């Protein structure tokens, strides 16, 4: 596997008001920090540690670890590949066994139940990707109170509900990459819609807010139409893209896919409607899922970090947390074959810089 660095040094059917006035539908209500229109992305100093701490955790340094990985959902390519990265780390370390388990739909109530069951059954560590940052926090805090090490990746929880979070990209960097690519494909005055997972999915909501702020600053004439939810479900994502195509007709020039499921599903809808070259799809997706559309000249690009590397870094972080070699106050983290990763935002480990896959290089990657 060729290693990629992730996006930075650094996821209602209502029509939103003008971008300069408020967050786009599907965004959160947190402050935004849009990057400069022509600037490269740089990391920020980490600041004081704000993560949680397990209560009465036993000495696990160098000892075998029993870990469960509970992503948003199982059975989709994105989290299959993060799981493979976690297993790569476990095999390399030789002292950690990891089971990936979780709901088959991106349902926060089911995810909480899975975590609660593993707290009861007994594990040394929990890896997670949150469906809802607030709703998941109480059960993760119970894990910490039980002396379990807790590390997040992909989608964070409230900071004090876990120790560390492996961040594939800082939100304002995702926003810049997505909106710059969209504008290059549909023009500065094109109209577009967004297909997301749910309005409460923390990383996607953050990205949408940052995209609105960045677009208002750097692409002020681009027109946002609406955001629709698709639950990270392939059929629903296709149907939502189809609905957008039917609803807006020639006005729709682009679709932003916020999930690894939505982006190829929207591409399939564009292809089936014979709109290749007329409606662009720009979004986050595994290169393998997008190869048919990119190689077939229907879609120009797809954007992502290495999901395998994301899982690998999370697995390495879990071992380091248990050993006490990753601790509050650290500014870098030695992540095996990935080298030194930066600590940012008080208790996050940042994966890297953006990658836009095109027909010129997408076949060089296999994940």
| Mean of pLDDT values over 127-155 | 97
In this predicted structure, which of 18-22, 72-76, 278-282, 331-335 has the lowest mean pLDDT?
18-22
Is residue 54 one of the residues assigned to a domain?
Answer: no
Does 290 reside within a domain? yes
Q: What is the mean pLDDT of residues 195-199?
A: 95
95/130 same-domain check: yes
- Give the mean pLDDT of the chain: 91
Residues 155 and 175 in one domain: no
Q: Is the pLDDT of residue 308 over 70?
A: yes
Does residue 45 belong to any structural domain of this protein?
A: no
8 Å CB contact between 285 and 344: no
At 9 the pLDDT is 27
Phi, psi dihedrals of residue 65, rounded to the nearest 5°: -115, 135
**Is the confidence at residue 225, as pLDDT, over 80?**
yes
Q: In which band, very low, low, confident or very high, does the pLDDT at 366 lie, cut at 50, 70 and 90?
A: confident
Within this chain, do residues 127 and 109 fall inside the same structural domain, yes or no? yes
Confidence of residue 6 (pLDDT cuts 50, 70, 90): very low
pLDDT score recorded for residue 11 = 32
Q: Which residue has the tokens 């709901």?
A: 103
How many distinct structural domains can be found in the chain?
Answer: 2
Q: Which residues is 358 bridged to in the sheet?
A: 301
- As a whole number of angstroms, the distance between CA 133 and CA 158 comes to 6
In angstroms, the CA 164 to CA 49 distance is 9
Alpha carbon 28 to its chain centroid, in Å, reads 15
Give the integer Cα–Cα distance in Å for 149 and 158. 15
Overall average pLDDT of the 349-354 stretch: 82
Q: What is the pLDDT of residues 265-286, one digit of tens each?
A: 999 999 999 999 999 999 999 9
Same domain, 183 and 210: yes
C-alpha 299/C-alpha 313 separation (Å) is 30
> Domain containing 225: what range?
171-304+359-364
């Amino acid at each position: 596997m060729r290693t990629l660095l992730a996006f930075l040094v650094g996821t209602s059917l209502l029509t939103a008001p003008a971008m300069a006035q408020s967050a786009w539908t599907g965004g959160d209500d947190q402050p935004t920090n849009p990057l400069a229109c022509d600037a490269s992305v740089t990391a920020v100093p980490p600041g004081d540690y704000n993560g949680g701490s397990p209560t009465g955790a036993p000495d696990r340094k160098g000892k075998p670890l029993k870990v469960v990985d509970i992503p948003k959902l199982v059975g989709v390519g994105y989290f299959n590949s993060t799981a493979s990265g976690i297993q790569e780390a476990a095999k390399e370390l030789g002292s950690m066994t990891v089971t990936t388990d979780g709901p088959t739909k991106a349902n926060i109530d089911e995810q909480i139940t899975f975590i609660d069951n593993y707290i009861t059954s007994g594990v040394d560590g929990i890896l997670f990707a949150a469906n809802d940052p607030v709703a998941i926090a109480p059960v993760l805090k119970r894990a910490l109170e039980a002396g379990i090490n807790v590390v997040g990746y992909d989608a964070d929880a409230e900071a004090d509900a876990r120790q560390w979070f492996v961040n594939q990209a800082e939100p304002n960097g995702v926003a810049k990459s997505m909106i710059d690519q969209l504008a290059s494909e549909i023009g500065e005055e094109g109209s577009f819609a967004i297909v997301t997972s749910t309005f409460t999915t923390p990383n996607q909501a953050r990205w949408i807010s940052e995209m609105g702020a960045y677009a208002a600053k750097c692409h002020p004439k681009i027109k946002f139409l609406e955001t629709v939810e698709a639950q990270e479900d392939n059929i629903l994502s296709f149907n939502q893209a189809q609905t957008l195509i039917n609803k807006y007709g020639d006005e729709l020039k682009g679709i932003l896919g916020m999930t690894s499921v939505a982006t190829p599903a929207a591409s399939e809808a564009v292809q089936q409607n014979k709109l290749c070259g007329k409606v662009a799809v720009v979004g986050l997706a595994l290169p393998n899922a997008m190869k048919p559309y990119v190689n077939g000249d229907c879609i120009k690009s797809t954007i992502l970090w290495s999901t395998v590397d994301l899982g690998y870094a999370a697995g390495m972080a879990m071992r380091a947390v248990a050993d006490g070699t990753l601790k509050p106050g650290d500014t870098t983290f030695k992540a095996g074959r990935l080298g030194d990763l930066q600590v940012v935002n008080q208790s996050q480990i940042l994966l890297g810089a953006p990658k836009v896959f095109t027909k010129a290089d997408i076949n060089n990657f296999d994940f």
